[in-house]
Amino acid sequence: MTKLSVNINKIATLRNSRGANVPDLLKVASDIENFGAEGITIHPRPDERHIRYQDARDLKKVVTTEYNIEGNPIKSFMDLVLEVKPTQVTLVPDAVDAITSNAGWDTITHQSFLQEVIKEFNQNGIRTSIFIDTNTKLMEAAAKTGADRIELYTEDFATQFDLGNKEAIKPYTEAAILANKLGLGINAGHDLSLDNIQFFKDNIPNLDEVSIGHALIAESLYLGLENVVNMYLHRLK
């Protein structure tokens, strides 16, 4: 069964816009779990423009499902993850000033670096996932890093699906089949929504987890957070 992990960055963005604690990030995370989500995802960035490093520490005390922290493994991020010890760390090659994730890892060029980082996380009992495009050579190189999973970067699929091009799923299906052969678990994220999630899930064999934030929170403005979480769960099952 594919798990739903909800990225709550946008909740933090809303809170930070007024400088107080409304909405309460910790309560929202707990509520999302109570609504049925199987995980909470955060992606703290160095400028803390949405999720703050302290949020990562505080959430550890309240998250009872899977806790996933995403980010570029610079020293401050690594120190945070090793302190918090979430269920999973997802490594994303974000530039410091990136608005959102916009590319997967070049696992060939950065293989030795990733091996070092992943070894340290694994030694601390933290499952590791690499944010990656569907290129087969990069997938094969990812398997040599020691990572437990890959997270398929799904922006291109979502863009093409919106244009009516369902053939855009093919590289993702092929990547998932290869990942299975390589012994890698499969996560996915970026621009997945209520419109495309069921089609994506139905075409990705052994999809372990999806991480969804921006679309889910935007859809909740119209349909309500509890309702939307359950709509995703229905489509994933």
In the numeric block, the tokens 């530039």 are attached to: 95
What is the CB-side half-sphere exposure of residue 11 using CA atoms within 13 A?
26
Measured in degrees and rounded to the nearest 5, phi and psi for residue 154 equal -105, 15
Task: Check residue 39 and report its DSSP letter.
Answer: E
Mean pLDDT of the chain: 96
Please pick, among 70, 151, 209, 219, the residue that the annotation labels catalytic: 70
* Three-state DSSP state, 30: helix
Provide the pLDDT for residue 100.
55
* Whether residue 23 has a cis bond before it, omega within 30° of 0: yes
Q: How far apart are CA 175 and CA 60, in angstroms?
A: 32
Of 77, 114, 81, give the one whose Cα is nearest residue 96.
77
In the numeric block, the tokens 């990656």 are attached to: 132
In the numeric block, the tokens 């934030």 are attached to: 213
Provide the pLDDT for residue 103.
75
Query: What type of residue sits at position 14?
Result: L
Provide the pLDDT for residue 96.
58
Of 53, 33, 32, 51, give the one whose Cα is nearest residue 42.
51
**What's the rounded mean pLDDT across residues 94-118?**
82
**What's the rounded mean pLDDT across residues 14-27?**
96
**What's the rounded mean pLDDT across residues 69-91?**
97
* Three-state DSSP state, 156: helix
pTM of the model: 0.95
Provide the pLDDT for residue 141.
97
Provide the pLDDT for residue 206.
97
Please pick, among 50, 66, 190, 219, the residue that the annotation labels catalytic: 190
**What's the rounded mean pLDDT across residues 57-79?**
97
Residue 199 above 60 pLDDT? yes
Task: Show Cβ contacts of residue 146 under 8 Å, excluding neighbours closer than 6 positions.
Answer: 115, 118, 119, 122, 128
Q: How far apart are CA 72 and CA 122, in angstroms?
A: 16
Pairing label, strands 127-132, 66-71: unpaired
Give the pLDDT band (50/70/90) at residue 94: confident
- Concerning whether 190 is annotated as a catalytic residue, the answer is yes
Whether 39 and 79 have beta carbons less than 8 Å apart is answered as no
Provide the pLDDT for residue 130.
97
- Concerning whether 234 is annotated as a catalytic residue, the answer is no
**What's the rounded mean pLDDT across residues 210-235?**
98
Please pick, among 43, 66, 209, 219, the residue that the annotation labels catalytic: 43
- Concerning whether 110 is annotated as a catalytic residue, the answer is no
Count, residues in the chain: 237
The CATH architecture of the domain made up of 3-236 is Alpha-Beta Barrel (3.20)
Q: Is 14 left (phi over 0), alpha (psi -120 to 50) or beta?
A: alpha
Provide the pLDDT for residue 6.
98
The residue ranges of every structural domain in the chain are: 3-236
